[in-house]
């Protein structure tokens, strides 16, 4: 009997997880789910509504009012927050600065993980994040753990942000990434760790094509099983 295939991609911020995840999804016609976008959209809602993150009741109430949806018209991330497309706004600095704190809140994680598990129930999916291979889909057929040199990561991210944030410096981006790595790996709730059975993919010196071919070679044995 055919079961659906889940490819879990975890790793540090700005390591190219979403680039490879999208490429895999496109090649194999899988659904791509950017789990980080969900935490970002929650952070945006909390920011806009001045939610006090230390107030559990306020956080729980706010979570009830948040409705997230992915529109999968192509292999890009199109996420709506209560029917408003927020895909661009969630990439801006105010959200980037807040999101790790929001993602460390227990109630937020419980809700996001529930929604993510639902998405992977019956369809072939590629999901990227921090805890996909450990907490969301511990039984995923294929798991990758991505890393890259921190300097290279900062340079890549800086280049991405510059068109919309011409004043942003490489140093600021580097600091933000270092801070997020620290928060993501040391938080109490589902910290970023490599699952024992995750394949390490260090892409410091790899082209996108090389990464894709490597990933496909690991997924192919599970296709048409
Ligand atoms: O991948 P990203 O940079 O868009 O993720 C945004 C934040 O959300 C980042 O601080 C880590 C957190 N995150 C998480 O805790 N668990 C996930 N599955 C995905 C992202």
Ligand 1 binding pocket includes 16 (Cβ within 6 Å): no
Domain assignment present for 23: yes
CB 11 within 8 A of CB 142: no
Decide: 143 in ligand 1 pocket, CB within 6 A. no
Kindly list the distances between the CA atom of residue 165 and the CA atoms of 17, 91, 200, in Å, as whole numbers in the listed order: 22, 11, 32
Q: What separation in Å is there between the alpha carbon of 169 and the centre of ligand 1? A: 22
What pLDDT sits at residue 154?
95
12 CA → ligand 1 middle, Å: 9
Q: Are residues 91 and 164 in the same domain?
A: no
Between CA 113 and CA 119 the distance in angstroms is 10
The domain boundary residue, chosen from 96, 123, 150: 123
Looking at residue 116, the DSSP 8-state letter turns out to be: H
Are residues 154 and 70 part of one domain? no
- Ligand 1 atom index nearest CA of 132: 18
Number of domains observed in the structure of the chain: 2
Last residue of a domain, one of 123, 153, 180: 123
> 111 CB less than 6 Å from ligand 1?
no
Per-residue pLDDT tens digits of the chain, which is 225 residues long: 458 999 999 999 889 999 999 999 999 999 999 999 999 999 999 999 999 999 999 999 999 999 999 987 788 889 999 999 999 999 988 998 899 899 999 999 999 999 999 998 889 999 999 999 999 999 999 999 999 999 999 999 999 889 988 999 999 999 989 998 998 899 899 999 999 999 999 999 999 999 999 999 999 999 977
Given the CA of residue 112, which atom of ligand 1 is nearest to it? 18
214 shares its domain with 130:
yes
Residue 108 shares a structural domain with residue 4? no
pLDDT score at 2? 54
Residue 181 in any domain: the answer is yes
Residue having the nearest C-alpha atom to atom 2 of ligand 1: 36
- Report which of 173, 208, 184, 153 is spatially closest to residue 19, judged by C-alpha positions: 208
The residues, any chain, with a CB within 8 Å of residue 52's CB and separated by 6 or more, are 58, 59
How is the beta sheet containing 79-81 ordered, strand by strand?
A: 68-70, 79-81, 84-85
Residue 165 included in any domain = yes
Pairing, β 68-70 against β 199-202: unpaired
Computed on alpha carbons and rounded to an integer, the radius of gyration of the chain in Å comes to 17
Provide φ and ψ at 203, rounded to 5°. -105, 20
Residues 155, 47 within the same domain: no
- How many A from CA of 99 to the centre of ligand 1? 7
State residue 71's pLDDT score.
Answer: 85
Range of the domain at 208: 1-30+125-219
In what order do the strands lie in the sheet containing 31-34? 31-34, 125-129, 6-11, 142-147, 199-202
**207 and 154 share a domain?**
yes
* CA nearest ligand 1 atom 20, residue: 36
Atom of ligand 1 nearest to the CA of 190: 15
pLDDT given for residue 1 in this prediction = 44
d(CA 120, CA 215): 19
- The reply to whether 116 and 140 lie within a common domain is no
Which residue owns the Cα nearest ligand 1 atom 9? 100
Other CB atoms closer than 10 Å to residue 37's CB: what's the count?
22
> Has residue 225 been placed in a domain?
no
168/12 Cα distance (integer angstroms): 21
CATH of the domain at 175: 3.40.50.300
Q: What's the CA-to-centroid distance between 224 and ligand 1, angstroms?
A: 32
């Amino acid at each position: 009997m055919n079961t659906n295939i889940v490819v879990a991609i975890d790793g540090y911020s700005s390591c190219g997880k979403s680039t490879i995840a999208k490429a895999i999804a496109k090649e194999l016609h899988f659904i791509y789910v950017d789990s980080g976008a969900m935490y970002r959209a929650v952070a945006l809602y909390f920011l806009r509504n001045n939610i006090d993150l230390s107030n559990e009741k306020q956080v729980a109430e706010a979570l009830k009012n948040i409705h997230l949806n992915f529109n999968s018209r192509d292999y890009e991330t199109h996420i709506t927050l209560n029917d408003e497309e927020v895909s661009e706004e969630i990439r801006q600095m105010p959200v980037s600065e807040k999101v790790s704190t929001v993602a460390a809140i227990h109630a937020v994680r419980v809700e996001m993980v529930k929604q993510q598990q639902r998405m992977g129930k019956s369809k072939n999916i590629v999901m990227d994040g921090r805890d996909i291979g450990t907490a969301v889909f511990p039984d995923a057929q294929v798991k990758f753990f991505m890393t890259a040199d921190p300097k290279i990561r900062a340079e890549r991210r800086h280049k991405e942000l510059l068109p919309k944030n011409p004043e942003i410096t490489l140093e600021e981006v580097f600091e933000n990434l270092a801070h997020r790595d620290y928060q993501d790996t040391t938080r109490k709730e589902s910290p970023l760790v490599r699952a024992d059975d995750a394949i390490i993919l260090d892409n410091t010196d790899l082209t996108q094509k090389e990464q894709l071919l490597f990933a496909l070679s690991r997924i192919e044995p599970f296709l048409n099983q």
